[in-house]
Amino acid sequence: MRKTIYSIGFLVIESVFSVGLFTSCGDQFQEEYPWLIGKQEEMDNNNEEGAGATDITVLEKELKGAIPFMINYSHEPNGSWAPHKYQYYRANSIDNYAGYWTTTKSTFAFGGPLPTLYTFPNDYLGGPMDNQIFTQSYNAIHHATELGKPEWRAVALIIQAYQGHEIVDFYGAAPFSDWRNLKRTPPLTYEKGEDIYNLIFDDLDEAIRILKERQPSREEFAKIEDLTIKTLSNGDWRMWVKFANCIKMRMAMNMVKINPGTAQSKFEQAVTDEIGVLTDTDAKDIAYYQEQNACALWRIGNEWHDIRLGASFENILKRYNHPLLTRWFDTNAYPIKEKSTGIQAPIDVYGVRTGISMRNSNTTGKDKGGYGPFSTLSGEFKYMHQSFFKRTESIFLLAEAALRGWNALGRDAQSWYEAGIRLCFQENGITDGTVIDEYLAQTAAKDIDYVDPYNNENNIAGRVKVGVKWDASDSKEVMLEKIITQKYIANFPMSAEAWTTFRRTGYPRIFPVDVNNMKDQGVDTELQLRRIPIEETANNTLEIASLVQALGQPNTGASRVFWDKQTETRGEQSPDNEFTLVIPVNF
């Protein structure tokens, strides 16, 4: 029986790395087949469905292996928790676009160079790169019902919805149906982002209905989730329903500018469902809670020294004198001296500006000078839970819904807004009500600019000016900026959502990149990257043509995904580049 190894990917990732714990990531085995995502190994050409099409026990094992690929925190399929794949998927791209982190290397032990963030093409253009979600849930989608377990079709629909809507948010279009059906022969057909969203809404509705009908037990869920380490539900089917509703409410809000009627309807369906969505009454996020393995961000920053705190996040937290700044991030344990003047900086939390040139400036250790001593995730959060959907995101979505006059479960925008801030403090270990109340009472942000203590040429004026205190006399635009800015803080480190919300609303006011090498694609430094372009190669010409047709725009970083409606206006000349400042308009 002949078997073939199929390479299916924007980048092909080998599942076994011959690298040590302290070696930065990359891939020495890359091939360019960017018309599909991910990697498929050892598929039987004659029967690609395999035993899982007829054996429910095999199907359950396949589905159990698929779930972690929504965000590959645990380095599947080998489960080593070494975050090589997370670095490819998020840390070197989307985590930077969101402003939370900055990649502080331009070369890696494996993989290509990354001279600046806005360099195209490069090897780290983000997003899902393993199609185990589709391959390992194929039988659950197509055969679980006939095998007597439609609840596993429901779970498969939810995890494909999670990855599918993020693919649309990152790239704008995808051959979603061809992936779901495991079409092997190119060319694959890209579908419009809006059509994929509509398909996913239907999938989520079906999944919710099935789970309510079947109500599988904890013992049943143990067949598809590791209930000791890698569990999203702790065996409670209601958490999967809440997960589906939360995805639905996120997607609905993403559409608010392009189709406000549908957005409101879908959002209200999710929140008024009898099981509902995550709120401040839930004990946990949809997340991995475990202390056996350090979280991905701690290892990438503290062991591999590939990332440091982003300047945007540092400056926003300092402008609010946020107590979590020094809990989440460490201060410099080694001296930082300005490279031209030799002036030594005081001990503090320091971030690195996104998009600066890192040529010949690789960080190799905290004690190695340059950006090495800058801040990483602190030891207190070495085992930070690794989320797929946070309660704080759901709460701030409800705050925005209330601001827009939608059904927000009988609470107003201020109530949800303040609840989100309080939960942010409490879930990160600050429970002193006086501290929280003082934070909530701030009427204006402090006038603090970003200073790069290693290279003052990267200094930039702080941009966030709104306070924290809720003021009923504010315009809706100012209220929204407050909601999104505090959501950005509270939802850390969920970078995909932060980048999506920034593009949708213009908030928070994160710094633009310093070096923009994508101007030839029309990328406006102040508007920032609007979608991730896909490199065209000799292998994918037909797929790129299909992508462009689905986008209705060129395959560039300046083109907008379908929900990213241009409503902003432009202001005065930016002091930091040749473009004019962006004035968000959301109402």
Q: Are residues 265 and 345 in the same domain?
A: no
Domain coverage including residue 17 = 3-288
Residue 322 shares a structural domain with residue 394: yes
Residue after which a domain boundary falls, among 288, 319, 347: 288
Give helix then strand counts, H and E, for the chain: 20, 10
Residue-wise pLDDT tens digits, 337-374:
999 999 999 999 999 999 998 887 889 999 999 999 99
Q: Say if residue 40's pLDDT is above 50.
A: no
Between 4 and 587, residue with greater pLDDT: 587
Instruction: Answer whether residue 104 is part of any domain.
Output: yes
Asked if pLDDT for residue 224 goes beyond 50, the answer is yes
Helix H or strand E encompassing 78 = none
Structure tokens at 108: 């890696």
Tell me the three state secondary structure of residue 170: helix
Give the CATH number, domain containing residue 205. Answer: 1.25.40
Distances (CA, A) of 531 to 287, 295, 500, 561: 26, 27, 9, 7
Which single residue is written with the structure tokens 């591999």?
304
Measured distance CA(539)–CA(542) in Å, rounded: 8
| DSSP state letters, 175-213 | -HHHHHTT--SSPPPPEEHHHHHHHHHHHHHHHHHHHHH
Confidence of residue 132 (pLDDT cuts 50, 70, 90): confident
Looking at the fold, whether 164 and 77 belong to one and the same domain comes out as: yes
Rounded average pLDDT over 195-217: 98
**8-27 pLDDT, tens digit each:** 333 322 222 222 323 455 43
Q: Which positions ≥6 away from 153 have C-beta within 8 Å? A: 140, 141, 144, 145, 207, 210
Mean pLDDT, range 325-342, rounded to an integer: 97
Grade residue 48 by pLDDT with cuts at 50, 70 and 90.
low
Nearest to 300 by CA among 578, 11, 23, 13: 23
Q: Count of alpha carbons within 13 Å of 518, Cβ hemisphere only?
A: 28
Domains contained in the chain, number:
2
CB 170 within 8 A of CB 116: no
Per-residue model confidence (pLDDT) at position 255: 98
- Cα–Cα distance, 371 to 41 (Å, whole number): 40
Nearest to 30 by CA among 5, 11, 7, 10: 11
Regarding whether 138 and 44 lie in a shared domain, the answer is yes
pLDDT per residue over 135-147, tens digit each? 999 999 999 999 9
Q: Is residue 568 part of a domain?
A: no
Residues 105 and 58 in one domain: yes
% residues pLDDT > 70 (the chain):
91
Count of other CB atoms within 10 angstroms of residue 447 = 9
Instruction: For residue 511, give both structure tokens.
Output: 């710094």
Q: Is the pLDDT of residue 418 over 60?
A: yes
Are 105 and 301 a contacting pair, CB within 8 Å?
A: no
Task: Write down which residue in 451, 483, 505 finishes a domain.
Answer: 505
Residue-averaged pLDDT of the chain: 91
Are 29 and 162 found together in one domain? yes
CATH number of 472's domain: 1.25.40.390
For residue 557 the two structure tokens come to 């970083």
φ/ψ of 48, rounded to 5, equals -70, -15
CA dist 585 and 569 (Å) reads: 7
| Residue 352, in any domain of the structure | yes
Whether 245 and 144 map to the same domain: the answer is yes
Q: Report residue 47's pLDDT band, with 50, 70 and 90 as the boundaries.
A: low
Structure tokens at 44: 């039987």
- Examine the domain organization and report whether 146 and 275 are in the same domain: yes
Residue 258 lies in a domain: yes
Residue 130: pLDDT band (50, 70, 90) is low
Which residues are within 8 A (CB) of 555 and not within 5 positions of it... i.e. 6 or more apart? 533, 534, 536, 544, 547, 548
Output the pLDDT for position 538. 87
Burial of 106 (0-12, 13-18, 19+ CB in 10 A): middle
Average pLDDT over residues 397-417: 98
| Residue 420: CB atoms within 10 Å | 27
Q: Is residue 571 part of a domain?
A: no
> Is residue 404 domain-resident?
yes
What is the 3 state secondary structure string of 363-432? CCCCCCCCCCCCCCECHHHCCCCEEEECHHHHHHHHHHHHHCCCCCCCCCHHHHHHHHHHHHHHHCCCCC
Contact (CB, 8 A) for 94 and 117: no
Phi, psi (degrees; rounded to nearest 5) at 231 = -130, 135
Average pLDDT over every residue of 430-438: 98
CA 287 to chain centre: 14
Rg (CA), the chain: 23
Phi/psi of residue 325, nearest 5 degrees: -55, -50
Q: Return the ∠ at Cα 460 (arms to 457 and 462), rounded to 5°.
A: 160
Helix %, strand %, coil % for the chain, to 5? 40, 10, 55
At residue 128 the predicted structure's pLDDT band, cuts being 50, 70 and 90, is: low
Report pLDDT for 127: 67
Residue tagged 């031209």 (tokens): 340
Whether residue 518 is contained in a domain is answered as: no
207 burial via Cβ count (<10 Å: 0-12, 13-18, 19+):
buried
User: Are both 325 and 192 inside the same structural domain?
Assistant: no
**Dihedral (Cα; 323, 329, 331, 332), 10-degree rounding:** -160
End position of a domain, from candidates 460, 482, 505: 505
Percent of the chain at pLDDT > 90 equals: 83
Q: Kindly tell me if the per-residue pLDDT of 483 is higher than 70.
A: yes
Residues 273 and 379 in one domain: no
347 and 225 inside one domain: no
Residue 542 within any structural domain of the chain: no
For 382-395, what is each residue's pLDDT tens digit? 999 999 999 999 99
Same domain, 278 and 168: yes
Q: What is the pLDDT of residue 36?
A: 39
